[in-house]
Amino acid sequence: MSDEFELLVVGGGPAGLSAARAYRAAGGRGAVAIVTDEHRMPYNRPPLTKELLRGESSEDELPIEPEGWLQEHEVRLVSGRAVVLDAGARMVGLSGGRELRYRSCVLASGAEPTRLPVPGADHPGVRVIRTLDHVRELTGRLRAGDPVVMIGSGFIGCEIAASLTRRDQVVTLVSDEEQPNAARLDLESAERIHRWLDEEGVRVNLGSEVEEIVARDGALEVRAGAVRATGKVVVMAAGVAPRGELAAAAGLELASGAVPVDAAMRTERAGLYAAGDVAFAYNASAGRPLRVEHWGDALGQGEVAGRTAAGEDAQWDAVPGFWSTIGGHTLKYAAWGDGFEVSRLEQHGDGAFTAWYGRGGTIVGVLAHEADEDYERGRAMIAEGASWR
């Protein structure tokens, strides 16, 4: 079987599958392959920290497309880890020595969880959640009632903490933020998330940086200022870093580890595209490049890359956004993501609210809880650069 492809996608996440799917939908012909180091069909990742972790859904529900989709659309799934990219020769090398050649290649290698640079962060009992295997490894270590320490109060950290309490784990959350998601949101919205965590039974400790993780008496103790939190397992949600090592080795100049691309997802090298968490992509509506780590935007960027590779005119111009479920509460957020100067929170009764964010006299973000009309209206207003009033 030939190892030469019209379209070669490196990465089996949402951006990778979306690129292959869009390429075929746009009339792209010739051999197509997706290289993935997870050895399974591309799957939905948002449920990993929510429904799947809570035990409310099964692994069978995760795949984005059924296995039959590959044969139907003549797309090969190649199991392996890409370790070499020669953009001049248009070749990708796998760890076993196999070489794959392409006319067009989409880098959709995603991102990987980072760990805090503190003593004990690499202990086997300190886990992260990014893949299905991560969830399996974490839940395999836990029995009902086991204590868990959650490090990090971003959206992923809050989702995991709330989900674990619903699995009957005793969860303590530790973070250097003054309120959950304070780095991204206004104080009032962050305080509401804090209350939701309290309602879920999460023991929240904020305002102190983690200094070390110490193994003692068969458990792990997280030390952060005066805080001493002990768990059978520690889960760390300290952000992610783009997997741009292939592009860097190929001589591309990275931007904070990500691959710069234009609005059509083209890199500076002919025939080479990037999409998803690994990309630093120009957004045509924003008028500037953005770095986003959202599921929906990975799908959108992958679609643009696939259509462009097939010869269509396409560009990324959507307002980035995502949904987050913390316990029984769902937040919908859309924003350019590179900061705001002013904010305003509107309460709608029965716990529903909308937070608006502005910068430079325009609306640049919206956060909605049980206010779907505001969320949809807000996305449109952000895209058109509506005035802040």
Q: Which tokens hold the place of 80? A: 């392996």
Q: To the nearest whole number, what is the mean pLDDT of the chain?
A: 96
Could you report the per-residue pLDDT of 17-48, keeping only the tens digit for each?
999 999 999 999 999 999 999 888 999 999 99
Chain Cα centroid distance, residue 181: 16
Give the residue extent of every domain in the chain. Answer: 4-112+240-309, 115-236, 339-384
Could you report the per-residue pLDDT of 266-301, keeping only the tens digit for each?
999 999 999 999 999 999 999 999 999 999 999 999
Q: Are the beta carbons of 92 and 10 closer than 8 angstroms?
A: yes
pLDDT of residue 39: 83
**pLDDT above 60 (res 15):** yes
Could you report the per-residue pLDDT of 166-195, keeping only the tens digit for each?
999 999 999 999 999 988 999 999 999 999
pLDDT of residue 183: 83
Three-state secondary structure readout of the chain? CCCEEEEEEECCCHHHHHHHHHHHHCCCCCCEEEEECCCCCCECCHHHHCHHHHCCCCHHHCECCCCHHHHHCCEEEEECCEEEEECCCCEEEECCCCEEEEEEEEECCCEEECCCCCCCCCCCCEECCCCHHHHHHHHHCCCCCCEEEEECCCHHHHHHHHHHHCCCCEEEEEECCCCCCCCCCCHHHHHHHHHHHHHHCCEEEECCCCCEEEEECCEEEEEECCEEEEECEEEECCCEEECCHHHHHCCCCCECCEEEECCCCECCCCCEEECHHHEEEEECCCCEEECCCCHHHHHHHHHHHHHHHCCCCCCCCCCCEEEEEECCEEEEEEECCCCCCEEEEEEEECCEEEEEEEECCEEEEEEEECCHHHHHHHHHHHHHCCECC
Q: What is the CA angle 279-163-220, rounded to 5?
A: 90
CATH node for 115-236: 3.50.50.60
Could you report the per-residue pLDDT of 59-76, keeping only the tens digit for each?
999 999 999 999 999 999
The percentage of residues in the chain with a pLDDT greater than 90, rounded to a whole number, is 96
Domain spanning 4-112+240-309: CATH 2.40.50.140: no
pLDDT of residue 2: 64
Tell me the whole-structure pTM to 2 decimals. Answer: 0.95
Task: Give the whole-angstrom CA distance, residue 289 versus residue 269.
Answer: 18
Could you report the per-residue pLDDT of 189-233, keeping only the tens digit for each?
999 999 999 999 999 999 999 999 999 988 999 999 999 999 999
